[in-house]
Amino acid sequence: MRTAALLGLPWYMRETPSKFMKICEPSDHEEDVIKDVVIGILVIVENVMEPIPSFYNDVALVIEEEVVMCHLRDIPNAFLNRMGLVYALNLDYPKELKFTCEVIQHLFIGLGSDSDSIAL
């Protein structure tokens, strides 16, 4: 359920999920797949036609067209590691995924206090 929620969130927020998540097969050239990815997730599966793959060959994090972490267990774990790297490296959210990242930050991770968003 977590994977489905995270994969559907950019669509719900009317943003483009292909800007931060790429799905490819093991035989694809990784360099071509992650071209133009500023910060995102690369999922390697046997059958890219499945809407939500049940088995992953690998899940990796990409920053500026380079794989920086690999062998992550699943997509929710990759999302959390991605958010952790954004904070640790003091990176900005990609413009095309601003709302998706903010929802993940506030609702799923629980960062940001409620008192900050309430104007008195």
Q: Give the per-residue pLDDT at 119.
A: 41
Whether the CB-CB separation of 45 and 53 falls below 8 Å is answered with: yes
Whether the CB-CB separation of 56 and 43 falls below 8 Å is answered with: yes
The pair of structure tokens assigned to 53 is 């793959």
Per-residue pLDDT reduced to its tens digit, 5-24: 888 888 888 888 887 788 88
Q: Give the per-residue pLDDT at 25.
A: 86
Q: Give the per-residue pLDDT at 60.
A: 92
Instruction: Give the residue ranges of the chain where pLDDT is below 70.
Output: 50-52, 113-120
